[in-house]
Structure 1
Amino acid sequence: MKKLLLLCLPFATTVALAQKTDEAAKFAALITPQALKEKLTILAGPEMEGRETASPGQKKAAAWIEAQFKSFGLKPGNGDSYQQLYPVYQDQLTDKKLRVNGKTFEWDKDYSFGISSGDWKFNEFVFAGYGNYDSAKNINDFTGLDLKGKVVVILETPGAVMGRAAFAGLQARQRMLLSKGAVGMLTVADFSKRNPTNTKGGMRLAPPAAGNAAGGRGAAAPTNFYTATISNAVASALFGRTSTIALADLKNVNKGNYYAELSIHAEKTNVQLESSNVIGVLPGTSKKDEYVFLTGHYDHLGKNGNVIYYGADDDGSGSVGVIQMAEAFAAAAKAGNKPKRTMIFMTVSGEEKGLLGSEYYSEHPTVDMSKASADLNTDMIGRGDSSRKGDTLNYVYVIGHDKLSSDLAPINEAVNKQYVNIALDYKYDDPADVNRIYYRSDHYNFAKKGVPILFFYDGMLGADYHRPTDTVDKIQFDIMAKRAQLVFHTGWVIANRDAMLKRDIPLNMPSR
């Protein structure tokens, strides 16, 4: 009898594991394209107004996510609250004026500039056409022009679309002008095709330091290099014309020095606002004092005038993935498949402002971070990477697989092979990655505390990135569901294995 029992044990163990495996697959099947679409249509819909941190739209989104967590039967993750409130501080432009030879021009019709306080006066300018400069191609619109101590006026390239490449080009041009002794750059643009200028500055967790109070005199940039965007009407006045030169005709104006009295005034103030992380908890059983985090950021860029930045992929997709995984784990628990470790489902805000929400949580955690087995972070999982020419959508970028824990990759790769079978692309895990993706989402603030992380990401950095066109209709829900199921299965294994993940690999990344 005993011998027979012993002989049966391996078979019984195999059957038990198979049953557990079947249970995981059954509840992962709740993460469907249709369920994801229903939720994302709400979270990235017009009523949420782009979910900018500390805005009414973000607060609506937080309330909706809280309601979702409650409906699944999750416990509040911050004492008796589902929200962890935190303060943010923001500069706001409260007054601005621009005059040329005593004539006052109109904000957002004739000029715009960054958030700063101060008064600037200039009286000599250098016009340099389109300001093209490429030493490799022997192109230099600044040849023969004395830039020292002058403000340089350039024309915006016709049809230019502001993006990463364009911004990098402007920065390179500013560095070149600084090296020539210029003190500022005014870019002539078509304001009829520009979105309203945001008069709010960046956000931060700390209040302004003493001596740097809002409203004090300050330079427009740390380099003391002044930049602004002006209309053809302002440019015409700087060139001494009494009538406005058509924008298309400005290219015919002679390059060289011009004289006019330009005065600029700006005042800013600093306001304290409030945002929140939304946290739902599924208590564990035998290892309930150990934790597995599933995270994503629900904030985006908000509105600019009446233009909404919907943020369907960034990061409506990851946040909805977390919410749907929470529903699947909660359903499993109700069916008698509670995780050994406590699951913490957290959607954070402030990511687009500098990872503020996750930074606040890492400094004010609701649990002992030394007992956190892992953070699985999803930020953009709903689309394809336009740089993968001819490739299918059947992939996901995985960041963190060879960092902090040697357990991460084997678990993730095994569940992928067993359940999902998509390509796991590790290219962004290269320490030399120029995009520095490892530092650019909320997992980073867990990694700083030594928590093993995996970051799941689709790489969508194309024309819709941080644009109003990142909309729900462009999400590919079939692959989004597969990616979320991969995270679910990885979380299931980490939550139910006997030991916490090892913390046995130094973080082999350059300093931030």
Structure 2
Amino acid sequence: MKTTMNVKHVLLVGLCLCGTAAMAQPTLKQAGKYAQTITPADLKKHLTIVASAEMEGRETATPGEYKAAAYIIEQMKAIGLQPGNNGQWTQSYNVYRDSLTEASLEVNGSKLNLYKDFSATTANYNSHMSFGEVVYVNMEDSLWKNNKVDVSGRLVLVRMKAPAAGAGGRGFFGGPAMVVGQLQAKGAAAVLVLGDRINDGKEPVMSGMTVVKDPARQGINFFSVSDAAAAQLLGADAATEKGGKLQSKNIKASVHFSYHEKQITLVSNNILGFLEGTDKKDEFLVVTGHYDHIGRRGDIINYGADDDGSGTVSVLELAEAFVKAKAEGKGPRRSILFMTVSGEEKGLWGSAHYGNNPVYPLEKTTANLNIDMIGRTDTVYESKKDSALYVYLVGEDKLSSDLPGVSVLANKNLKMVLDGRYNDPLDKSRIYFRSDHYNFAKHGVPILFYFDGIHRDYHRPTDTVDKIEFELMAKRAQLVFLTAWEIANRNEMLKRDKPLPATALTR
């Protein structure tokens, strides 16, 4: 009897020990082996394809996007991920492309020539308007800055200020749309924009704003007009205005315009690859990068190697490293969604669609790690050879007090410079709001955004694979992997003990 009981006791202890060993938690020390599988050679292999001429700049809802999506899905299958949207690899959403059918503009009885004297953007809506007065607005003068110019219900003439060198543009965050948005907020009925390019009688290659997310958008109509056309409104003040010295004023003039377009429905896709966790599989970590870019303009391709080909291929490499770990019995405790989103350059459309239609509960999503541009050195660091091993971290001290400690731990052996200069939501660059992490943060999900800064080829055809610093890029991707490993294997989800920055609430 006593002997039998001892055998049972030994067997029970043995079984407990075996069970404990089977459930041993993956440690950050073990992660280093798998982080090293993220190599410059593998990143280059993928990026050479994603940022190739064949992908045509990957503009949202174009053949280029669809080609890139097919490649990403093919690679996710090969890696060993599972389809992440209820058996599907894609999460689709509608977008809309406008096609101009007719536009006319008449000033003081003189009909202007489309694409020579003025151009029309397909951000407009079908309308016919007449005005007997124009408000000229100088956004640099004291009258405008002190809110002494009434534009409510009126036609506005305004000069588009040239962007600073190297500033680039980013969807609705810059360009004429921003100026028009400010005037719309003041109640303007329509806008004539000076200083934008007119194509000397030729129909332009359409810009990246020709696809819209909301077919019933409530904007105001605007036309770009040449200096010669504007002179018919300004008269003797034309030279003073061109010199930037004309004050805001009302101008008596007769202006009539009409605009008509047709609209077609297109489809864009987020790509979702899923790796199931172990004992915490009903909690989730989401790793994102946007695979769209700004496409082609005629024969000129904007390759988007850094923006955001670098993030896209890093997501693939992170996924492969985690799958290898799982195959060796060290898979993540939490499930991980590896998602490449579309529509970022148009206004964060893909991530917004996921945030509003999450496949996995956001309240069970411990964090979003977003990778957008990690392959280059920016203008700040290019002269700092001794500290070029850097990455900008955005959002780590927002929403969760746990995140800063995780970043420091993950960086212990890599010893990268973790630069937080863009972390302030009040920073004039507004980086906190300008990539897909924002559509998780606004739903309360803690986020970390990895970013290399603004370089000289940002949003230009020269953002090409040959400019990528793959050794540096691999180190940054390894940092994201180690951070993901720690977050996916913690005992508890990240705390949500900090509010969304107040400035974000107005967005």
Q: TM-score range by the shorter chain?
A: 0.7 to 0.9
Residue 233 of structure 1: CA displacement? 6.5
SS in 2 for 1:430: coil
Counterpart pick for 2:54 among 35, 47, 60: 47
Matched, 1:196 2:205: yes
**Partner residue in 1 for 2:419:** 425
SS in 1 for 2:391: strand
- For the aligned residue pairs, the C-alpha RMSD in angstroms reads 4.4
Query: Residues 17 and 457 (structure 1 numbering): CA distance in 2 closer, same or farther, change over 3 Å?
Result: farther
Query: Residues 384 and 208 (structure 1 numbering): CA distance in 2 closer, same or farther, change over 3 Å?
Result: same
Residue 348 of structure 1: CA displacement? 0.9
- In structure 2, how many angstroms separate the alpha carbons of the residues matched to 1:183 and 1:408? 46
Does the Cα contact within 8 Å between 2:166 and 2:458 map onto a contact in 1?
A: no
Residue range with higher mean Cα deviation, 314-323 or 82-91: 82-91
- In structure 1, how many angstroms separate the alpha carbons of the residues matched to 2:190 and 2:81? 57
**Partner residue in 1 for 2:375:** 382
**Partner residue in 2 for 1:143:** none
Q: TM-score, normalised by structure 1?
A: 0.76
**Partner residue in 1 for 2:71:** 64
SS in 2 for 1:58: helix
Does the Cα contact within 8 Å between 2:334 and 2:489 map onto a contact in 1?
A: yes
Residue range with higher mean Cα deviation, 181-190 or 375-384: 181-190
Once the two structures are superposed, the pairs formed by residues 66-85 of structure 1 within 5 Å of their partners are 66-85=73-92
**Partner residue in 2 for 1:279:** 272
SS in 1 for 2:463: coil
Does the Cα contact within 8 Å between 2:198 and 2:224 map onto a contact in 1?
A: no
SS in 2 for 1:85: strand
**Partner residue in 2 for 1:118:** 127
Does the Cα contact within 8 Å between 2:82 and 2:274 map onto a contact in 1?
A: yes
**Partner residue in 1 for 2:10:** none
Q: Deviations over 1:375-427 (max 9, x none)?
A: 11111111122134733431111112112222211121112012x11011122
SS in 2 for 1:429: coil
Counterpart pick for 2:315 among 315, 322, 328: 322
What is the letter of the counterpart of residue 119 of structure 1? H
Counterpart pick for 1:396 among 381, 391, 395: 391
Does the Cα contact within 8 Å between 2:410 and 2:483 map onto a contact in 1?
A: yes
What is the letter of the counterpart of residue 411 of structure 1? V
SS in 2 for 1:498: coil
Q: Deviations over 1:128-168 (max 9, x none)?
A: 9xx895679xxxxxxxxxxxx88758798899999569967
Counterpart pick for 2:304 among 311, 332, 336: 311
Does the Cα contact within 8 Å between 1:297 and 1:379 map onto a contact in 2?
A: yes
- In structure 2, how many angstroms separate the alpha carbons of the residues matched to 1:76 and 1:276? 13
Query: Residues 25 and 203 (structure 1 numbering): CA distance in 2 closer, same or farther, change over 3 Å?
Result: same
- In structure 2, how many angstroms separate the alpha carbons of the residues matched to 1:429 and 1:333? 34
Query: Residues 501 and 307 (structure 1 numbering): CA distance in 2 closer, same or farther, change over 3 Å?
Result: same
Query: Residues 199 and 485 (structure 1 numbering): CA distance in 2 closer, same or farther, change over 3 Å?
Result: closer
Q: Deviations over 1:45-68 (max 9, x none)?
A: 121122122222111111110101
Q: What percent identity do the matched residue pairs reach?
A: 46
Residue 305 of structure 1: CA displacement? 3.0
**Partner residue in 2 for 1:503:** 496
Once the two structures are superposed, the pairs formed by residues 15-414 of structure 1 within 5 Å of their partners are 20-21=27-28, 23-98=30-105, 107-114=114-121, 115-116=123-124, 117-120=126-129, 163=168, 185=192, 187=194, 191=198, 196-198=205-207, 201=210, 203-204=212-213, 206-208=214-216, 219-220=220-221, 227-231=222-226, 234=229, 263-388=256-381, 390-391=383-384, 392-414=387-409
Query: Residues 497 and 201 (structure 1 numbering): CA distance in 2 closer, same or farther, change over 3 Å?
Result: same
Residue range with higher mean Cα deviation, 277-286 or 435-444: 435-444
Q: TM-score, normalised by structure 2?
A: 0.76
**Partner residue in 2 for 1:434:** 428
Residue 451 of structure 1: CA displacement? 1.9
User: How many residues are aligned here?
Assistant: 462
Q: Deviations over 1:290-311 (max 9, x none)?
A: 2111111111122233332222
- In structure 1, how many angstroms separate the alpha carbons of the residues matched to 2:429 and 2:163? 28
What is the letter of the counterpart of residue 299 of structure 1? D
- In structure 1, how many angstroms separate the alpha carbons of the residues matched to 2:232 and 2:180? 24
Does the Cα contact within 8 Å between 1:112 and 1:197 map onto a contact in 2?
A: no
- In structure 1, how many angstroms separate the alpha carbons of the residues matched to 2:210 and 2:133? 29
**Partner residue in 2 for 1:448:** 442
Q: Deviations over 1:311-364 (max 9, x none)?
A: 221211111111111111112222332222212111111222222211211222
Does the Cα contact within 8 Å between 1:404 and 1:504 map onto a contact in 2?
A: yes
What is the letter of the counterpart of residue 261 of structure 2? K
**Partner residue in 2 for 1:458:** 452
Does the Cα contact within 8 Å between 1:295 and 1:375 map onto a contact in 2?
A: yes
Q: Deviations over 1:453-494 (max 9, x none)?
A: 11111122x443223232222222111111100000111111
- In structure 1, how many angstroms separate the alpha carbons of the residues matched to 2:371 and 2:276? 22
Does the Cα contact within 8 Å between 1:293 and 1:374 map onto a contact in 2?
A: yes
Query: Residues 478 and 160 (structure 1 numbering): CA distance in 2 closer, same or farther, change over 3 Å?
Result: closer
Unpaired runs of 5+ in structure 2? 1-19, 144-153
**Partner residue in 2 for 1:493:** 486
- In structure 2, how many angstroms separate the alpha carbons of the residues matched to 1:443 and 1:31? 23
Does the Cα contact within 8 Å between 2:283 and 2:335 map onto a contact in 1?
A: yes
SS in 2 for 1:382: coil
Residue 31 of structure 1: CA displacement? 1.1
Does the Cα contact within 8 Å between 2:120 and 2:223 map onto a contact in 1?
A: yes
What is the letter of the counterpart of residue 344 of structure 1? L
Does the Cα contact within 8 Å between 1:108 and 1:197 map onto a contact in 2?
A: no
Residue 87 of structure 1: CA displacement? 2.0
SS in 2 for 1:95: strand
Query: Residues 331 and 18 (structure 1 numbering): CA distance in 2 closer, same or farther, change over 3 Å?
Result: closer
- In structure 2, how many angstroms separate the alpha carbons of the residues matched to 1:182 and 1:21? 58
Does the Cα contact within 8 Å between 1:125 and 1:153 map onto a contact in 2?
A: no
**Partner residue in 1 for 2:17:** none
SS in 2 for 1:410: helix
